[in-house]
């Protein structure tokens, strides 16, 4: 239904050309094959699914969420030429081990303890995958500068509603009073506390701070992410 919530990835993976599969169980041959394929058919299919789900709700705006869009930003703008993109930035010193940890948890659901034996392969894979995604996104970002709003993750944690207002203003959108009230209520409730703290470390995934800084140095400098004192 149009009012329910899900990640874009769950529809994009229906094409079978998706990062979703390699995030679920160890499949190195598929992973190598997928990384040489275009995801254009997946995005073309995605548009059709959204049109079906949203039939009769043409007045509503879509709010799409998938970190993987950064690796296919050209395709996103190809199928959604009027898209407004909010790009959140956080130090790779946190994001690389964090995504590696999340992937390991996903693998354990399907592979059990066997997944632990190749945890140290996850870090190098994620380090390269997301660095390459940022490299490919750079010219696309430059070509669509007016359609992209950059958010420092640390600042969003400190002053979420200020950032929200800036996003709406940047894209010329109107934040309805009732929507703002719900947002403020969610911020005050902090439901994420129920899940506990997500703990992870670099060593468990076969990577070092030096390797991350060497691969992401330009990106970290561009968005002032060297100061990683805030989670």
Instruction: Decide if pLDDT at 160 tops 80.
Output: yes
Of the candidate ranges 59-73, 90-104, 126-140, 193-207, the one whose mean pLDDT is the lowest: 193-207
Quick one: pLDDT at residue 111?
Answer: 85
H helices of 54-113, in order, are: 73-79, 92-111
Nearest partner of 96 among 132, 64, 65, judged by Cα: 132
Quick one: pLDDT at residue 81?
Answer: 96
Instruction: Decide if pLDDT at 216 tops 60.
Output: yes
Give me the mean pLDDT over the 110-114 stretch.
85
Q: What is the pLDDT of residues 183-200, one digit of tens each?
A: 999 999 987 766 666 677
Quick one: pLDDT at residue 200?
Answer: 75
Burial of 22 (0-12, 13-18, 19+ CB in 10 A): buried
Quick one: pLDDT at residue 225?
Answer: 94
Q: What is the mean pLDDT of the chain?
A: 89
Quick one: pLDDT at residue 9?
Answer: 86
Q: Specify the pTM.
A: 0.88
Within 10 Å of residue 123's Cβ, how many Cβ atoms? 25
């Amino acid at each position: 239904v149009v009012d329910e919530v899900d990640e874009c990835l769950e529809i994009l993976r229906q094409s079978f050309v998706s990062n979703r599969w390699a995030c679920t169980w160890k499949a190195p041959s598929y992973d190598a094959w997928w990384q040489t394929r275009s995801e254009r058919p997946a995005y073309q299919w995605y548009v059709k699914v959204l049109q079906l789900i949203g039939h009769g709700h043409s007045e509503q705006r879509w709010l799409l969420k998938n970190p993987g869009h950064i690796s296919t930003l050209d395709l996103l703008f190809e199928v959604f030429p009027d898209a407004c993109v909010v790009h959140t930035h956080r130090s790779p010193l946190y994001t690389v081990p964090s995504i590696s940890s999340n992937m390991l948890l996903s693998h354990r659901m399907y592979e059990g303890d066997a997944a632990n034996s190749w945890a140290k392969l996850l870090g190098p894979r994620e380090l390269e995958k997301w660095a390459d995604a940022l490299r490919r996104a750079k010219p696309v970002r430059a070509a669509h500068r007016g359609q992209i709003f950059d958010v420092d993750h640390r600042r969003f944690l400190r002053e979420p509603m200020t950032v929200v207002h800036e996003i709406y203003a940047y894209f010329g959108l109107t934040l309805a009073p009732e929507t703002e009230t719900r947002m403020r209520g969610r911020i005050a409730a902090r439901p994420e506390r129920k899940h506990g703290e997500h703990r992870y470390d670099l060593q468990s995934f076969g990577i070092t701070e030096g390797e991350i800084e060497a691969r992401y140095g330009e990106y970290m400098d561009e968005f002032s992410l060297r100061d990683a004192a805030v989670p």
